[in-house]
Each structure stands twice: as C-alpha cells, then as structure tokens.
Amino acid sequence: MSSGLPRTLDQYLRAVRARELSPEEYLTEARGLIERNDPQVRAFLLLRLDAAQSDAQQADVSSPLAGAPIAVKDNIMMAGERCTCGSRILEHYVAPYSATVVRSLLAAGAVIHGKTNCDEFAMGSSTENSAFFPTHNPADLTRVPGGSSGGSTAAVAAGFALGAIGSDTGGSVRQPAAFCGVVGFKPTYGLVSRYGLVAFGSSLDCIGPMTRSVRDAAILMNVMAVHDPRDATSVSRPRVDFEAALQPTLAGKRVGIIRELQGLDVQPEIATAMNMAREAAVKSGASIVEVSLPHILSALPSYYIIAPAECSSNLGRFDGVRYGLHEDGRDMTETYSRTRDAGFGTEVKRRILIGAFVLSAGYYDAYYKKATDVRQLITDELDAAFRSADVLLTPTTPTTAFKLGAVTDPLEMYKADVFTIPANLAGVPAISFPSGKDATGLPIGLQLMGPRWRDADLLSCANVLFTALGGES
C-alpha cells in the first residue's frame, strides 16, 4: 500500500472511525492495486468490485468491520456468487445461500470483494491444483503462495484485502500464511461454523482468518466465532473478546518444544528463526519446556488416510445430477463416471481412489481404523503435553516457498504438512505468524499450537512473539 494508507485492519478501523478515511476511498486504493497487480499474482477467481464499491459506499462505519474489504476462499459460499472450489466440476455453480461465516462478516460490516483461488476442493499445498490457474507468491512471483488457501493469502500479502478467510484441513490456512508472510489462524474445531464451507474432510475442516497482524486475526475472530445450530459440530461457548484478551507479555507462560520434531530437516534459516523465537519468549517472561509426543511423526500418514477417506465420501455428491457439471452417458453409471472424469483433476481423483481403498471392506481395519487409532494417540499425547506447556512452538513449514512447478511428486508435497497436521487431527487451535526472512528474502513462518478452546490465550502468546520479532502490534 502507498504511504499514509493503513497497513492493518486495526489501523484501517481506527482511521475510518476517526473519519480520516472512508471505506470507499480505501476500496478504491485496493482496487487500483488489484487492477495493476492481480494479473501477475492471480489471487482471485472472481471479483465483484463494482458491487463492492457500492457496498463500501453504504458501509456502516460504526460497525465492527466498518466496510473493510475481506476476501473469501472459493470453497466458502456467498449467496448469488459462483463457488467453484477451484474445480471444473463446479465451474458454473452459483451458491444458493451464504456460509454462516460470510453472513457474520457481512453483518459486521465487512465488504466482500472477491472469491479467491485455491487448490481444487482444498487438496494441495501450492494452489497449483486449481483447475483454472496457479496463484503466484507476491513476495516472489516465480514461487508458489502455498496452499490450499493460496489466493486468500496472496490477496492479503499483496494489499488486495485487509483480511481473508481460508479453510484449514491439514494446514491450508497456516502453510500459505508462512509462505507469503502473513498471519494464518486455525481455530479450535467447533469454534467457527463450517456451514456453507464445501466439505473436504469434515472431522478436520476449520475456517480461519488470514491477516497482516495477530491483532487483526483476533478482530476477525470476534466476528467469526459464533455458535451455529446449522453446524452440528459447532459448540456453544461463552463469548470471548479475542482482541481484549491480548496481553503484553508472556510472563508465567510455558512454551513447549517438541522433542520428536527436533531432528527433522528444516531449512537452516527456519531453525535460526526458531532459536530467535525461543529467546524472545524467554525475554518476555516465558520459560521453555521440552515435551515428548512419541507418535507425532505418524500424524502425516494418519492424515493422508483419514482426509482422503472423508473426501471420497464427501465428494460422492458431485454426481452430475444435483450440482455443477453434467456429462451425458448411456446410463446412470456412465453419466457418473463421465461427469466425474471430466470434472475432477488428478489430485482429487487420487484422493478419492485412496479414500475408497482405505474404506473398502478388506482394508478398513488395516488402514482407516489404524489411522483413527493413531489419531487418538496423538490427540491424547497433545492433551498431555498441554499439562506441562501452555503453547507449543514449531516451524510452520520445513522450507520457505518453493518455485512454481518445482514439486511434482505428491508425496514430497504431502511431507510439507508435517508440522501443521497434528493440530487438525487433535482439533486444537494453531497459528502461523511471520518471523523474519530467509537468505533470499522469502518469508518464514513459525507456528504456535494451544489447548482446545484456549484460542484467545494462543492468539495472545502469538501476538507477543510476532511483535517481538518485528511484526505490527
């Protein structure tokens, strides 16, 4: 953004409330950036800038989000707008209703000006699995923004939006946040309604905010965390003010380091960033404790059985009859197979096949059952670790953003999720925050995980570390 304009949502809200800036003026600036730079970045699958301009004109500046432009991942529905999930099968599908989170954002005065690119049905770590085009990392256009919420992250990093919404099934909010140098927060499972999010792995899927600061994530969580009877897994909890809960220090906090992750190969600058974060934590009054999670390295294989199993079941609904693409066949079976063959991309087909295999009668116990047993072990181990640590610190990713087209082996791509997946399996909250740059200037992200329902405390700890390491308060 050009000088004088607010960089964060918090700064925007202050400026608008002080009548130094109008939502319309801000959107005009963001629009200029989008028009100049999105042809290179390609964050958006759909832009509704004219509609957004009139929404901004009518925005209530005393509302919680005061006309701030927020981008929404294209697997989350906004009534009357296309919702493609980055897939050919839904290329022309128009959402018949809005997701609860979209309704909450609009009710709080946000302006939704675009739907963002993503890996097809949120399966991937680079946004290269979008059926339409890859998104480029604004920090280096030759590199991926991460995924699957790569469009949302790139939009925030490029100044196209003051915040964005993504979905995180195995790291899709946190990993791209790390790659693009923004904050990505995956709340406790059940804190933000999944109603209107197109399901991938229903027991893992969470909607979370992506922002330029931790405080901004707290501001959005104040709007997004509402109990919703339309989502049976949404939990009714006493309301928390996530922003008011931000504390200035880590006094008395125990920051845990996970023994079993120590030996993992990470880029040297990421290891250095971890050390700097440890030092910053101690300086701010925390103590460092080591915890052991004996099964944590089995999280990855467990996830890559459970997530495909759930996806093969969830994606069964795309049969060419009720939604989206329809390819005629001689009979029902041929209609299904022609539709699904034409509509789904390679990675989605791979996941459906794996999922159907691990759920099949002869293999259920050997794969699916075993994976869910491992999931329970990891969940129990994490719960135990949170008795001796308030938060756990890890890198978000083993490397910084890789070049577009560089990772072609699916297993290599899956391995990048080693740090993010445990939080999804256990349903605990986790956040990625920027923590410096590597030798080539690419952003590094570190992750903090916290106990279930301690989201406000987790955001507070992350805010202290993020600001201590140079982020905006």
Active site residues: 73, 148, 172
Residue numbers at the binding site for ligand GLN (CB under 6 A):
122-125, 148, 167-172, 200, 307, 417
**Distance separating alpha carbons of residues 186 and 154, to the nearest angstrom:** 17
**Taking the complex as a whole, how short is the minimal distance between the CB of residue 209 and ligand GLN, in angstroms?**
15
Helix (H) or strand (E) holding 207: strand 206-211
Q: What is the 3-state secondary structure (H, E, C) of 239-305?
A: CCCCCCCCCCCCCCCEEEEEHHHCCCCCCHHHHHHHHHHHHHHHHCCCEEEEECCCCHHHHHHHHHH
In the bound state with ligand GLN, the residue whose beta carbon lies nearer, of 168 and 216, is 168
**Taking the complex as a whole, how short is the minimal distance between the CB of residue 200 and ligand GLN, in angstroms?**
6
In the bound state with ligand GLN, the residue whose beta carbon lies nearer, of 27 and 197, is 197
Q: Are 127 and 146 in contact (CB under 8 A)?
A: yes
Shortest-Cβ-distance residue relative to ligand GLN: 172
Provide the CA 31 distance to its chain's centre, in angstroms: 23
**Taking the complex as a whole, how short is the minimal distance between the CB of residue 194 and ligand GLN, in angstroms?**
12
Kindly state the tokens that stand for 398: 């083993």
**Distance separating alpha carbons of residues 142 and 139, to the nearest angstrom:** 9
Q: Are 434 and 214 in contact (CB under 8 A)?
A: no
**Taking the complex as a whole, how short is the minimal distance between the CB of residue 126 and ligand GLN, in angstroms?**
9
**Distance separating alpha carbons of residues 193 and 102, to the nearest angstrom:** 10
Residue 111 β-bridge partners:
69
In the bound state with ligand GLN, the residue whose beta carbon lies nearer, of 13 and 306, is 306
In the bound state with ligand GLN, the residue whose beta carbon lies nearer, of 50 and 412, is 412
In the bound state with ligand GLN, the residue whose beta carbon lies nearer, of 286 and 307, is 307
426 to 288, 357, 384, 445: CA distances (angstroms) = 23, 24, 12, 21
7 to 72, 216, 352, 379, 472: CA distances (angstroms) = 19, 11, 41, 38, 9
Q: Which of 50, 69, 167, 160 is nearest to 109 (CA)?
A: 69
**Taking the complex as a whole, how short is the minimal distance between the CB of residue 266 and ligand GLN, in angstroms?**
17
**Taking the complex as a whole, how short is the minimal distance between the CB of residue 9 and ligand GLN, in angstroms?**
23
**Taking the complex as a whole, how short is the minimal distance between the CB of residue 122 and ligand GLN, in angstroms?**
4
**Taking the complex as a whole, how short is the minimal distance between the CB of residue 124 and ligand GLN, in angstroms?**
5
In the bound state with ligand GLN, the residue whose beta carbon lies nearer, of 37 and 152, is 152
Backbone angles phi, psi at 347, to 5 degrees: -65, -40
In the bound state with ligand GLN, the residue whose beta carbon lies nearer, of 135 and 148, is 148
Amino acid letter, residue 185: F
Contacts of 331 (CB under 8 A, 6+ apart): none
Q: Are 138 and 210 in contact (CB under 8 A)?
A: no
In the bound state with ligand GLN, the residue whose beta carbon lies nearer, of 286 and 428, is 428
In the bound state with ligand GLN, the residue whose beta carbon lies nearer, of 125 and 193, is 125
Measured at the CA of 176, the angle between CA 76 and CA 150, to 5 degrees, comes to: 50
**Taking the complex as a whole, how short is the minimal distance between the CB of residue 307 and ligand GLN, in angstroms?**
5
Q: Are 313 and 319 in contact (CB under 8 A)?
A: no
Provide the CA 363 distance to its chain's centre, in angstroms: 32
Count of beta carbons in the 10 Å neighbourhood of residue 259: 13
Q: Where are the beta strands (DSSP E) in 80-200?
A: 111-116, 163-168, 183-186
